[in-house]
Structures are given as structure tokens and as C-alpha cells.
Amino acid sequence: MNPFKHAIVSGRPLLGTWMMTGSDTVAEAMVTVGFDFLVLDQEHVAVDTLDAIRIDRAIRSVNAATTPLYRLAGNEVVLIKRALDGGATSLMIPFINTVEEAEKARDAACYPPYGTRGFAAMHRASGWGSNPAFVADARDELCLILQLETPEAMAHIEAMAALDGVTGFFIGPGDLSCAMGHPGMPSHPEVQAMIQQALSACQRLDKPCGIVGGTPELVNRYQQMGFSFVALASDMSFMLARAKEQLAA
């Protein structure tokens, strides 16, 4: 089974970071730090399908246990299909607000009869056709995370969680703060209350839930709250922080 999926479903907390540089070299280096997963951002970073495959290869070449978690550019059938055919096993689909949008993501990610994913025999995910069990195993291997970024999305967690094929959720605190009228203030008490409410719903429904925090203190707090997987800052923020520290010195 997908190690990332197995870990978060079984309750083992994971710690990762965000990849904002779009660099396979940086990703390869970040694996050596010891993160459990690296969020391969394609929504806010100019990373296309081929770039993603290069970054994926770089990560897995150092440690196959470190998971590239693809945060796609959007909830689009072609993007989901290309990521999966390119070798992704863990997907995070951004800005899911309704059950219908959740169903669209699930259907695009699963082969019939569970969904409508298009079939191709020769691609990286199937070992270029060398794995005859690929289609049968694809559903078990898939980790499908839906990203919740608005109060509307939070209101539909229970219905989304009931969809067969949805592994878990990820709360986007930045967009949530904007949607709640507190842009750039994810630590605002109202935003934090909404985050706690969503996490409690996921725990009640026995669904893994992830989040991102900008500082070790905030990440520690999220872990203590019970989040299944938490991302700490990003490769770009680490680089800039160190550069500023050295320049100031």
C-alpha cells in the first residue's frame, strides 16, 4: 500500500514541508532532511506535468519512503489523469467546496466501475506496461486528499467523507482566513475556531486531516490538536530565512 496513505489512515502523524521552488535539485536535497512528505505544489508554482515527474524522480531516488504529495493546479479531469499516469499516488485537490466537486475529483481519479478515469496501458505509473496488476491495484494505492479552504467547504465535510474513494482532507488556513474576512491572518481566533471545528468533524468521521503551519510553534500546536499530517513552512521560506540570517550577521 501507498506508505503515506497507510500512515495517515493508521493514525501515525507525519511531518512534511511545501515545495515552492519548483526545483528537482532542491527537492532531492530536502529529502535528506528527513521529512515524511513533500508537497509538490502545482497550483501556485509554475510546475507542469514534466516538471512534476522530474521532481518526483528526484524525491524517490533518495528515499522511496518520502512521499511526493501532488497539490494539483485545480480540480480538472486532465490534470488528475496526467498526474496519476505520470506516477503520482498521492493527490491533493485544491478548493473543493461542494459534494459535487468532491465527486468530480473522485471520479477522475478512479478507474471504472468506481469512477471515470481514462485508461492507457503505457505510462510511467504502470511501469510502461510491465505491471499487469496496475489497474487492479490503482484504487488501493491512491491517496486522494480534498483541500477545504472556505466555510462552505467545512459545512460539507460529512457528505464528502461519505464518498467512497476519498482518503482524507487538508485545511488551507491561508485561503480560509481570506474567505472569512481575515486575509493573511490564519491565527485569527475565528479562523482557528473554524479549523478546530473542521478537525473535530474529521476525527468524528475517522478521516485523516492535514494542515500547514509557518512556524515550528504553530506546527507543534497543530500536531497536539491531532492533525494527521502537517507541513512546516516551505523550501523557499527556509532558504530565505537562512539567507537573511547570514546577511544580517
pLDDT digits (tens, 9 = 90+) for 40-58: 999 999 999 999 999 999 9
User: 41 - beta bridge partners?
Assistant: 71
Q: Which three cell numbers stand for residue 40?
A: 509538490
**Average pLDDT rounded to a whole number, residues 68-90:** 98
Q: Answer yes or no: are the C-beta atoms of 221 and 213 closer than 8 Å.
A: yes
pTM score above 0.75: yes
Residue 236: strand, helix, or coil? helix
Residue indicated by cell numbers 485545480: 74
Region of 111 (left: φ > 0; alpha: ψ -120 to 50; beta: rest) is: beta
Q: At what angle do helices 77-85 and 99-109 cross, to 10 degrees?
A: 30
Question: Sign of dihedral through CA atoms 95, 101, 103, 106?
Answer: negative
| Residues assigned a catalytic role | 44
114-166: pLDDT as tens digits? 999 999 999 999 999 999 999 999 999 999 999 999 999 999 999 999 999 99
Q: Which helix (DSSP H) or strand (DSSP E) does residue 32 occupy?
A: none
Q: What local confidence, expressed as pLDDT, does residue 1 receive?
A: 77
Residues whose CB falls within 8 Å of the CB of residue 229, separated by 6 or more in sequence, listed in order: 4, 7, 8, 13, 14, 15, 16, 36, 37, 208, 210
At residue 218, the pLDDT reads 95
pLDDT at 14 over 80: yes
